[in-house]
Structures are given as structure tokens and as C-alpha cells.
A and B are shown apart, each in its own frame.
Chain A
Amino acid sequence: MGASVGIHIEGLSKRYGEGDTAVDALKEVNMSVAPGEVVGLIGPSGSGKTTLLKCLGAVIEPTRGRMTLGGEVIYDNGWKISDLRVLRRDRIGFIFQAPYLIPFLDVTDNVALLPMLARRPNGEARARALELLTALDVAHRAKAQPSELSGGEQQRVSIARALANKPPVILADEPTAPLDSERALAVMRILNQMATQYQTAIIVVTHDEKIIPTFKRIYHIRDGRTVEEAGEGRALQ
């Protein structure tokens, strides 16, 4: 496991609240994902999956521990990055349970928005978007409105958006939950392809039995503690 690149978590803890009502959602979590790797994060309800994802996504602050992203320490008992918004924009891709595309932007601009937010010129941003849409096989819908796309197409556009700023890590929150097994496997195939093609570390939070066999490595989380195990790593064609 590359300790310096990809994503690296050591002894990460998160406590919600204080005193009697305090909840220790994460307890000394360790985790490492290398560039180009897709790992699963699996656990029962209330085990801390979302909490871990939010810590990684820099939208809530952990209580203790250390996180490294693409070789840089971003958290070490406190944020080491002054602007978390820029961190999220440039170095973390998000994929949600639903596509959550911006309804008033067309497909291209939904993807191009991220490079644009990072102050890239519109032309360059759109070219990047088109490249990703082509890679994800939705380039023919580039000018369509999100509401005119099928569910599968929307999810692919949202994957393109997550990749738009070439982040070293992508966090996927139950990306296949609303999809049937064929579509769910298609999404996993795409994520694996993208991980390899763009050398991205991808963490997929899931309950989804259909896709669990596709992971080569899985982190089980229970009561805020992670256990690493090898997955089946079933080939996706």
C-alpha cells in the first residue's frame, strides 16, 4: 500500500456531542487506498460509514487522528489545510446515491462547472467535460438537460462530474442503491475503469449485496472500528 499517495487514514476518531450524550461514531479508524484502487466500505446501519465519508470529504471535522491525501497531510489532530472548500473542489470527487445534477445546467456544463469553479477558462473546462463524457459514453447527450436523461445516464454524468478536476480521491456514497443489478454492475465497471485510467483512489460506501463481490479489498466497519479484508474481486467485463 502506498503510504504517501492515494488516501491514508490513521487513528481517526470522531465523537459527536459531549458528556452523557456523546457518541463515538469513529474509533481509531485506519484505512489506506492506493491510486487506481476501488475499495468497499461496508457496515451495518449506524456503524459510522457516513461519518467516515464526511470526515474524508472535509465537511465535518474529526476529533483526533491523521489523514493524508495525495501525499499531503490534510488533517493531523486538526485541519492542516486553510481552505476546505478549495480542498473539496480540487482534490475530492463526490458521487451520491442519486445523481444530484444541477437541473438548470446542461450535461456538459454540469461537468464543466467544477473546472470553472476552479477558475479554468470555459473552453478548457468544456473540453475536459467532453473528454470525460466520451470516456463514460454519454457524449451524445452532451447538450441535453439532466431531466432528459435516463437514470443510468444521469449517474454516468455524475461520475464524470466527480472526475472533472482530476481529484486523487473519489468518495461514493451508495452510488448503486437505486439501480438494478445490471446497471449497478455497469457503474462498478465504470468506476474501476476510471480508477485505472485516471489513477484515482475510490472509496465506495455500500449496502448493496450485488456489487460487494466486485471489490478486491473491503473495509468492514462496525461500531466505529474498521477491519480490512480481501474481497472476491470478481472480474467485470
Chain B
Amino acid sequence: MISLAGRDILHSWGKFVLTGLGLGLLIGVTLTMAGVYRGMVDDAQVLLNNSGADLWVVQKDTQGPYAESSSIRDDVHRGLLGMPGVAQAANVTYLTMQVRKGNTDVRAMVVGFEPGQPGEPSYLVAGRRITRSHYEAVADVNTGFALGDRIRIRRHDYTVVGLTRRMVSSGGDPMVFIPLKDAQEAQFLKDNDAIVNERARTTANPALNRPGVPGLLDAINASQTSNHNVNAVLVRVKAGYAPEAVAQEIRRWKHLQAFTRAQMEEILIAKLIATAAKQIGMFLVILAIVSAAIVAFIIYTMTLGKIREIAVLKLIGTHNRTIAAMILQQALGLGLIGFVVGKIAATIWAPAFPKYVLLLPGDSARGFVIVMLVCVLASTLAIRAALRVDPATAIGG
């Protein structure tokens, strides 16, 4: 027996390839949408991995530092170092902002860290680590900065001395690492006008500017302009200690929130990108429906165009299941062409996306199965029409 479906596809290959191409681009978009989601999850994981922490200690009752803003005093880490099980505790700041790059600006997450502590970029693709305590920066290559470039963050210029790769925030913004002191200033220090203004208010306040208490006003002013806040403390746990147990102690004694790695993942993936994931899920459902409609429509019209031949085939003794198999195989063939085109298209255009698109082989496999299922479903309409054809219609009236 010959393959009727195969012969028909060869006979009208132009129509098949064109439809397959259109369907393929749609499947490519679908695979890319899944890749965008995977990229977001992966970004979140890379973010957690790169911080090199076992625990994230943040302001009480917040889910900082990535999902909510958190502010704690920068001497908290000393207290933490004294707790059992804590090996390292380092201050970090995170601030997503527009940094100047020549005449334009790029969206970046500015990270303040202490050299040699958790939070430092672990791996450089070019250049060196930050060695001076001010005005040097390590930037992710996605920011577009090159070694030696100058970055303007607030009031200061920073020289790019090193480059990293795949260091992005949970929102996909590339990171710029600068020394902690500079970062604290960038985040918490007010501009000069605001400071002058604030001092004038303090001076005018009789409760703070008391003639009988010399030095009070100066002390208050000094305290207002100093910046002793950070967003989080990254803690590394000593070997042999369970991170959750250490976290519990911190929560209990320090009036701070402490998250383990698993809890941070939960916050980032289940909460922070949950809406985006649902958004993408909606797209996937719609794209699947549109693909199904296209396959159903094409296979149905192709079958209707063959009604006379199908009646003849039935009259001369072709089994219903042979005819059903012919239509089914055509639908699957269309799906196969579409999937191959889609996979190639997604692979080609994924690197051009501004955010990380991660195409997982598992997603492709699942996508393939779904495409095939959709094609089977879509062909049922055409198969029903073909099976209803009365062989008697081949013999005219």
C-alpha cells in the first residue's frame, strides 16, 4: 500500500509548505513565550546563585530586598556575625535606576557590595575586580558598557574596570556593581538643596534648636545627613548548621526577617514573576487555540476540496480508517513542518530578545506533543466530514 497522505502532500506541497511556514512562525512565537518565562525563572535563580548567600536578612515584615523595599541599619551585620552558625554577613544595597551612558541612559540595577564578601560578582568575563574603595564599577555586558567606560550614577562618575555576564535583576535589568559606600550614598543621600532645606527646617524647630543645649542642633544635622542604611545583609552559614535554624534564630533575636534560599526562590518565582507567568500562560493558551484553528481550517478545506475523490475512494472499497488515517497524517505532517519551522525560528531569534530567552529541550518536547495533539483534535472536524461522505455520490444522479 502506498501512503495516500504522503502523495497528497507531495502533490500540493506548495500549499503545505506555506501553511506549515505560517503555522511554524506561530509555533515559534509560542516556544519563545515559554522561553521568556523560563528565562525569567532562570534570571531569578542566577540572581540568587550569584549573591553567594545562604540567608537574606531584611527589614522586619518585608519580603525584600528584591520583591519589596527593605531598609536596615548597616551595623546590623556585626550583631549577626556574633550569632551561632553565621560564617559571613555582608551589607548590600540594590537600587534599580537609569544610569547615564554618554548621552543616553540604560536601566540597570546598581548593587553596592563589600569586596570579598557575599554579593560580590563572582565571575568576570573581562577586566579585574574592584580594588579601590570609590568610583570603580563592574558592569554586566548587557548594559552595553565596555572596559574603561565611564558610568554616571547620581553625582559621581565611575570607571568600568570589569565586566560580568548573566548578572541581572529579577526584572531582567543588567547589574552594575559599585562599592558599598558609594551605593549607600547614591541611594540614601539627599542632594545639596534638600540638605540645606532640611537644615533650615531643623534650625527653625524650637524643639531641636534649644539655646540651653549647645551641640544638639549639630548632632541632629550630622545624623540626618549620614547614611547608615543598607537594603539587606547577605549571610553565609557555617558548615554543619541548617540555614533554616540560623534564620529562625535571627528572626527571634534580631527583630529582622531572614529568608533561606528556598524561601527567596518562592518569593521571586511564585510571587514576583507570578503575574508575568500568568500573562505568558494566557498567550500560550491563545496561541494554541489559534494554531488549532489554523490547522483545522486548512485540513478541513483541503478535505472538502477532495470530497469527490473521497467518495470515489470509498466506492472502490477504501476503508474508512484508511481515509481517516490519510487526513490525520496530513494534519500531523502539517504540525511536523510547523514545529520544525517554529523550533528553528525560535532558536534564531531568541538571542535577539533584550531579556534572556531560555529554550529548554523539555519545553520543545512538550511543545511537540501539544502541537501533535492539537493537530489530531483539529483533524477530527475534517475526518468527520470525510466519513459522512456517501460513496453513492460518486455515481452521479
Give A contacts to B, CB under 8 Å: 50, 53-54, 57, 59-60, 85-86, 88-90, 94, 96-97, 100, 102-105, 109, 113-114, 116-119, 122, 145, 161, 171, 173-174
Contacts and interface: CB of A to CB of B under 8 A. Distances in A.
Interface stretch (B59-67, B118-126, B221-229, B314-322): B314-322
Contacts of B394: 94, 96, 100
B395 A96 contact: yes
B1 interface: yes
Interface string B304-344: 00001100111111110010000000000000000000000
Contact of B312 (A54, A85, A86, A102): A102
A117 B7 contact: no
A117 B2 contact: no
A100 B2 CA distance: 19
Given A59-B395, A113-B2, A116-B2, A88 B317 contact: yes
A105 B392 contact: no
A78 to B, nearest CB: 19
A89 B328 CA distance: 23
A53 B397 CA distance: 10
B148 to A, nearest CB: 66
B7 A85 contact: no
Interface string B19-39: 000000000000000000000
A90 B318 CA distance: 11
B8 interface: yes
B389 to A, nearest CB: 12
A161 B314 CA distance: 14
Contacts of A174: 396
Nearest to A83: B317
B115 interface: no
Contacts of B317: 85-86, 88-90, 114, 117-118
A105 B11 CA distance: 8
B314 to A, nearest CB: 8
Contacts of A109: 2, 7
B81 to A, nearest CB: 79
Contacts of A103: 11, 309
B397 A102 contact: no
25 contacts: A50-B397, A57-B315, A59-B390, A59-B391, A60-B392, A85-B318, A86-B317, A88-B315, A88-B316, A90-B317, A94-B315, A96-B312, A100-B394, A102-B312, A103-B11, A104-B4, A104-B11, A105-B2, A105-B7, A116-B2, A117-B1, A117-B317, A118-B317, A119-B1, A174-B396
B104 interface: no
Interface in B353-397: 390-392, 394-397
Given A54-B395, A105-B2, 12 more contacts: A50-B397, A59-B390, A59-B391, A88-B315, A90-B317, A94-B316, A94-B395, A96-B396, A103-B11, A113-B2, A117-B1, A122-B2
B131 interface: no
B103 interface: no
Complex A-B, nearest 8 residue pairs according to Cβ-Cβ distance, in ascending order: A89-B317, A104-B11, A59-B392, A104-B8, A104-B7, A100-B312, A88-B317, A116-B1
A122 B11 CA distance: 20
Contacts of A173: 395-396
B256 to A, nearest CB: 74
Contacts of B392: 54, 57, 59-60
A171 B394 CA distance: 12
Contacts of A171: 395
Contacts of A145: 11
Nearest to A118: B317
A119 B2 CA distance: 11
Interface in B268-325: 308-309, 312-319, 322
A112 to B, nearest CB: 8
A117 B318 contact: yes
Contacts of B312: 94, 96, 100, 102
Nearest to B397: A50
B12 interface: yes
Nearest to A119: B1
A88 B4 CA distance: 20
A100 B308 contact: yes
A97 B313 contact: no
Contact of B395 (A53, A86, A102, A104): A53
B315 A59 contact: yes
Contacts of B2: 105, 109, 113, 116, 122
A85 B313 contact: no
Max chain A CB contacts within 10 Å: which of B7, B10, B315, B316? B316
Contacts of A60: 392
B316 A117 contact: yes
Contacts of B319: 85, 117
Contact of B10 (A59, A88, A100, A104): A104
Interface in B207-233: none
Nearest to A93: B316
Contacts of B397: 50
Nearest to A88: B317
Contacts of B322: 117
B396 A97 contact: yes
Nearest to B1: A116
A225 to B, nearest CB: 20
A89 B322 CA distance: 14
Contact of B316 (A54, A97, A114, A119): A114
B191 to A, nearest CB: 77
A116 to B, nearest CB: 5
Contacts of B395: 50, 53-54, 57, 59, 94, 96, 171, 173
Contacts of A94: 312, 315-316, 394-395
